[in-house]
Amino acid sequence: MSKAIIFPGQGSQAPGMGKQLFEDHPAARTHFQSANDILGFEITKIMFEGSAEDLTRTSVTQPAIFLHSVILAEVLNLQSHAQMTAGHSLGEFSALVFAGSLTFEDGLRLVSERAQAMQEACDLTPSTMAAIVGLADEVVEEICAAINEIVVPANYNSQGQLVISGSIEGVEQALLLAKEKGAKIAKRIPVNGAFHSPFMQPAQDRLARAIEATPLKEPIFPIYQNCTASAERDPAKIKENLTKQLTAPVRWTQSIQQMIADGATSFEEIGPGKVLQGLVKRIDASVQAASRS
């Protein structure tokens, strides 16, 4: 029986996140206080006392989810119980720290750099994302390819649940086509940019320099990376895939399927929310899925 530990991405944040960890565990307090110093602002105050709106700023959201996830995994002492790991988009950085490939401090610095780079790319060109539910992935891929605008599959979340990303006009055209083809849900997501699309190329260029300058060790167990959906342990390949991630789709469905094929029988989501737990069950109902926040 192999256990996989998985980490959530952006969208899982909630007011009060991490506060219980801070209050109950001295080691957690040390990490949170260190995070305030590294980031140069009191992220703990926003996480513990801020509103939902305060937490939606990308420069806050991404480090907040990373901190909650990584610190919780350490407090729970889960490393010795895991045989593999993965993270959804931002969660891949949490997974790398959990697997011992990245230090906590370097992981937080990269996440902060990533958040700032993505926000700058969003400000540069208006773009958006949308969720399409109830169509085969191949049909959504054909819809994207048929539009004379930049529109691409961004998140393969589970069978029949795909997020697309691109120009505002292109995404609107794709939604109309999806409804014509019988999608159960086809609607815009409230984000201010087209993540995991060519619109993130400026962010990828900036993040690539930071990743290249950051030391990575071989992880203690395989990490299944978003852009390849396959197990990786080579630090050079991990860096390459981590750099590609901002413009490549998140192949979450394929990642979970590959982890199961490689022996995973149970999945535990560590961090705020329960989104990934639900996706795993939709991908394959035969495996165990749980979450701890």
Catalytic residue numbers read 89, 196
Judge whether 170 and 149 are in contact, CB under 8 Å.
Answer: yes
Sheet holding 151-158, edge to edge: 151-158, 161-166, 128-133, 185-189
User: One-letter amino acid identity for 27?
Assistant: A
- Is the Cα dihedral 74, 26, 13, 42 positive or negative? negative
Q: Are 85 and 95 in contact (CB under 8 A)?
A: yes
Residue with tokens 């105050």: 45
CB-based contact 48:14 (threshold 8 Å) = no
**b/e 178-204 (16+ beta carbons within 10 angstroms → b):** beebebeebeebebebbbbbebbebbb
SS3 31: helix
